[in-house]
C-alpha cells in the first residue's frame, strides 16, 4: 500500500473514532443531573375516618367506670413546611362510661367535639396537640336524675399520626375532657359537679 493510501486510511479511521466518541458523549452524559428528589409526604387537604378506644373518669384506662368509645371524625389540614394547623369535627358513642356525682353516678352516652389541631411533621409522622369544645349527653344512674339535654365542656389533648400510601393514616390520641357545673338530682337534693373524663383512642383516616 502506498504512503498516500495509508495516510488516507489513517485519517478516515481517526474521523470515524472521533465521531463515535462524540455520539456516545451525547447519548450518555457523564453526569446525569435529571434526577430529582421525590417530594416529601403531604398532609394538606380534607380527610375523614373512624376511631375506637376507652373513656374513663380516671387516667388509668383499666379503672372502674370505663366505657368503650367509638365514632367518626372529619377535618382539614393546612401544611406550611413542616408545620400543620387544622380543624376537626368528631362524634362518639361512649358506651355508658360512668362518672361519679354526689350520691351516685351518671352515665355518659354521646359526645360531639369541635377541635383545633397544630403540630409538626417528620415526613410521614405528624405529632400534634389539640383543643376544643365538647357537647356531652348524660343519663342518670340508680337513684340519680341526670341533666336534661347536652352539656358543654372543654377538651385538651395530644396525638401522633402515621401516614401511609394511598391517602391512609393511623393515629393514637389522648383527650382530657372537663364539663363544669353538671346538675344532678337525688333524694338528698340538687347538686352541681365538675366532671372529668380521659379518653384514649386509636383511629384511621383517609385523605383526599
What is residue 61's predicted lDDT score, i.e. its pLDDT?
65
Q: Please give the tally of structural domains in the chain.
A: 1
Q: What would the grid cell of residue 166 be? A: 394511598
pLDDT-based confidence at 15, cuts 50/70/90? very low
Assigned domain for 27 exists? no
C-alpha 50/C-alpha 3 separation (Å) is: 89
Residue 29 lies in a domain: no
Listed residue (35, 39, 51) closest to 111, CA to CA: 51
**Is the predicted pLDDT of residue 126 greater than 90, yes or no?**
yes
Q: How many CA atoms lie within 13 A of 11 on its CB side?
A: 6
Q: Cα separation of 14 and 97, whole Å?
A: 90
Q: From CA 140, how far away is CA 151, in angstroms rounded?
A: 14
pLDDT of residue 3: 43
Domain of residue 139, residue span: 45-207
Mean of the per-residue pLDDT values of the chain: 84
Output the pLDDT for position 77: 97
Instruction: Name the DSSP class of 28.
Output: S
36 — pLDDT class (breaks 50, 70, 90): low
How far apart are the C-alpha atoms of 35 and 163, rounded to whole Å? Answer: 25
pLDDT for 64: 66
Residue 36 or residue 203, greater confidence: 203
Residue 2: pLDDT above 90?
no
Q: pLDDT, tens digit, for every residue of 153-198?
A: 999 999 999 999 999 999 999 999 999 999 998 888 889 999 999 9
User: Considering the entire predicted model, what is its pTM?
Assistant: 0.78
The CATH number of whichever domain residue 77 belongs to comes to 2.40.160.20
In a domain, 110, yes or no: yes
pLDDT of 141 reads 77
3-state SS class at 157:
strand
Tell me the C-alpha distance between 151 and 113, whole Å.
12
Quote the CA–CA distance of 64 and 97 in Å, as a whole number: 9
Instruction: Decide if 90 is inside a domain.
Output: yes
- Is 7 a domain residue? no
- pLDDT, position 48: 98
Share of the chain above pLDDT 70, in %: 79
| Predicted local confidence at residue 149, as pLDDT | 83
The C-alpha cell that represents 205 in the structure block: 383516616
Quick check: 72 pLDDT over 60? yes
Residue 77 domain flag: yes
- Whether residue 52 is contained in a domain is answered as yes
Contacts of 184 (CB under 8 A, 6+ apart): 101, 102, 104, 106, 140, 144, 145, 146, 147, 190, 191, 192, 193
Among 14-18, 70-74, 113-117, name the one with the lowest average pLDDT.
14-18
Q: How large is the average pLDDT for residues 196-203?
A: 94
Inside any domain, residue 114: yes
For residue 26, pLDDT beyond 60: no
Amino acid at each position: 500500500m502506498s504512503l498516500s493510501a495509508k495516510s488516507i486510511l489513517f485519517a478516515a479511521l481517526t474521523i470515524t473514532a472521533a465521531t463515535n466518541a462524540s455520539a456516545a458523549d451525547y447519548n450518555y452524559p457523564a453526569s446525569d443531573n435529571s434526577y430529582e428528589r421525590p417530594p416529601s409526604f403531604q398532609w394538606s387537604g380534607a380527610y375523614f375516618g373512624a376511631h375506637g378506644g376507652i373513656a374513663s373518669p380516671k387516667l388509668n384506662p383499666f379503672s372502674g367506670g370505663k366505657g368503650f368509645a367509638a365514632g367518626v371524625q372529619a377535618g382539614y389540614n393546612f401544611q406550611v413546611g413542616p408545620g400543620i394547623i387544622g380543624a376537626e369535627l368528631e362524634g362518639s358513642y361512649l358506651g355508658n362510661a360512668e362518672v361519679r356525682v354526689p350520691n351516685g353516678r351518671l352515665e355518659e352516652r354521646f359526645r360531639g367535639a369541635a377541635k383545633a389541631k397544630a403540630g409538626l411533621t417528620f415526613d410521614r409522622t405528624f405529632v400534634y396537640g389539640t383543643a376544643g369544645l365538647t357537647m356531652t349527653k348524660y343519663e342518670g344512674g340508680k337513684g340519680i336524675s341526670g341533666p336534661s339535654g347536652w352539656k358543654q365542656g372543654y377538651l385538651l389533648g395530644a396525638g401522633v399520626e402515621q401516614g401511609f400510601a394511598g391517602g391512609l393514616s393511623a393515629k393514637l390520641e389522648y383527650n382530657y375532657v372537663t364539663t363544669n357545673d353538671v346538675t344532678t338530682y337525688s333524694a338528698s337534693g340538687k347538686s352541681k359537679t365538675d366532671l372529668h373524663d380521659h379518653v384514649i383512642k386509636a383511629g384511621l383516616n383517609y385523605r383526599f
